[in-house]
């Protein structure tokens, strides 16, 4: 048998890649309605659609809440950590909603919120949300925020989709025609 007829060795089959999607800040801004200083996630590093999402928030001293919370010991307010968890949930939820530009995701409840350690400038929050229950217009999720693998915050949040008033047609008041007036 000549060298031309010798079959070449086949490379080993590689495992199928896992379905991990990411989003940068511009992708997030196309999904979430929030803007600076209230857009509280910087990047999505993992998505398992309709199940789980992991996002990153880089905490910097430039954020306006640190001017007063607290001037000599800056700590990220816990309510903003909860909001970051909700925004991560919004990024997960809104990626699967048709006509999402006509909707807003709003809080309907927060349960079992616990704060375990302070979050300070220089920290990187790793925010993970997991779907507990998903309905057409509402979702219940568990969320955690960690810094260097240590739990900083955990909560269960409930959110609902509502119409976005910014996309409503402007109100127009056309008074009914006066029956006593002649038609034009």
User: What does the CA dihedral 123, 131, 29, 26 come to, rounded to 10 degrees?
Assistant: 70
Q: What is the pLDDT of residues 128-158, one digit of tens each?
A: 999 999 998 899 999 999 999 999 999 999 9
Q: What is the pLDDT of residues 56-108, one digit of tens each?
A: 999 999 999 999 999 899 999 999 999 999 999 999 999 888 888 888 999 99
Chain-centroid distance of CA 159 in Å reads 12
Q: Is the dihedral of CA 36, 54, 59, 151 positive or negative?
A: positive
Q: What is the pTM of this model?
A: 0.80
Catalytic residue among 65, 69, 99, 101: 69
Q: 90 near 165, Cβ under 8 Å?
A: no
The predicted structure's pLDDT at residue 12: 52
d(Cα 132, Cα 111) in Å, to the nearest integer? 13
The H or E element spanning position 29 is helix 25-31
Our answer to whether residue 34 is catalytic in this structure is no
Q: Of the candidates 161, 153, 162, which has an alpha carbon nearest to the alpha carbon of residue 85?
A: 153
**Second CATH level (architecture) for the domain 18-165:** Roll (3.10)
The predicted structure's pLDDT at residue 159: 95
Question: For 33-134, where are the alpha helices, taking DSSP H only?
Answer: 78-94
Per-residue DSSP letter, 66:
G
d(Cα 113, Cα 91) in Å, to the nearest integer? 20
Query: Per-residue pLDDT averaged across 104-132, rounded?
Result: 97
Mean pLDDT of the chain: 87
How open is the CA angle 14-18-23, to the nearest 5 degrees?
Answer: 135
């Amino acid at each position: 048998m000549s060298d031309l007829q010798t079959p070449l060795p086949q490379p080993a089959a590689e495992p199928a890649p896992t379905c991990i999607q990411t989003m940068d800040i511009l992708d997030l801004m196309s999904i979430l309605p929030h803007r600076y200083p209230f857009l509280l996630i910087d990047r999505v590093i993992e998505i398992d659609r309709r199940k789980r999402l992991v996002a990153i928030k880089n905490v910097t001293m430039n954020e306006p809440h640190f001017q007063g919370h607290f001037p000599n010991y800056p700590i990220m307010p816990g309510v903003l950590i909860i909001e970051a968890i909700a925004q991560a949930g919004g990024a997960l939820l809104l990626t699967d909603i048709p006509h999402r530009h006509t909707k807003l995701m709003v809080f309907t409840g927060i349960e079992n919120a616990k704060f375990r350690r302070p979050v300070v400038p220089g920290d990187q929050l790793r925010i993970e949300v997991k779907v507990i229950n998903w309905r057409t217009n509402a979702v219940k999720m568990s969320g955690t925020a960690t810094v260097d693998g240590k739990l900083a915050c955990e909560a269960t949040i409930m959110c609902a989709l509502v119409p976005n008033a910014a996309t409503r047609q402007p109100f127009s008041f056309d008074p009914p025609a006066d029956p006593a007036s002649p038609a034009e």
